[in-house]
Amino acid sequence: MTGTATLGELSGDYALDTARTRIGFVARHTFGPRVRGHFEEFQGVGHLNGDDVSKSRVELTIRAGSIHTRNSQRDGLLRSKFLDEDDHPTITFTSTGTQQVDEATFELTGDLTIRGVTKPVTVAFERTGAENDPRGIARIHLRGNATINRADWGVNWNAATGVSISRTVSLEFEVAAVRQA
């Protein structure tokens, strides 16, 4: 295995390695520390065109009810009141464009749908590792983040919530993907 595989060598169709991928978020709470959480159930696929990164694409589906913040009461409120999982069981992201910033940094732009509202989002990704073993199994590792205003997607419960929890939410991605045969 080599950690220096070129993008051209890594071209192909990929699926998220869900056991090694983390999709998380951080929101500031006015009356306490930051609230950190993650989603436990998701799936994603993508295509990496290492010769022309702009032709790469990604699709991600997250089960809204799989949100966890290590507080069951808060998780219940997030599932029902904020994300409205009964009417909107999934959160989706479909890329619309990819831009290579430098050798290890990319910007992935796409449509993020939460609670039935779709808005464009750009996620900055850094390639943190990649290998292409002698059997042809390629893996790529990325770290990404984006900041969104949750109110843009209607993720708000009531007026008091808007005061006690910051409207901005940082999205955090630790991604491991495996090239498919």
Instruction: Provide mean pLDDT across the span 136-152.
Output: 93
Instruction: Provide mean pLDDT across the span 39-51.
Output: 96
Instruction: Provide mean pLDDT across the span 156-177.
Output: 77
CA distance linking residue 35 with residue 68, whole number of Å: 11
Domains of the chain: 7-179 (2.40.128.110)
CA distance linking residue 69 with residue 29, whole number of Å: 13
* The pLDDT of residue 112 is above 60: yes
Instruction: Output the pLDDT for position 158.
Output: 53
Range of lowest pLDDT (18-22, 139-143, 151-155, 156-160): 156-160
**Which residue from 90, 95, 108, 87 is spatially nearest to 39, judged by alpha carbons?**
90
**35: number of CA atoms within 13 Å, CB side?**
20
* pLDDT (tens digit per residue) in 2-42: 356 788 889 999 999 999 999 999 988 777 788 899 999 99
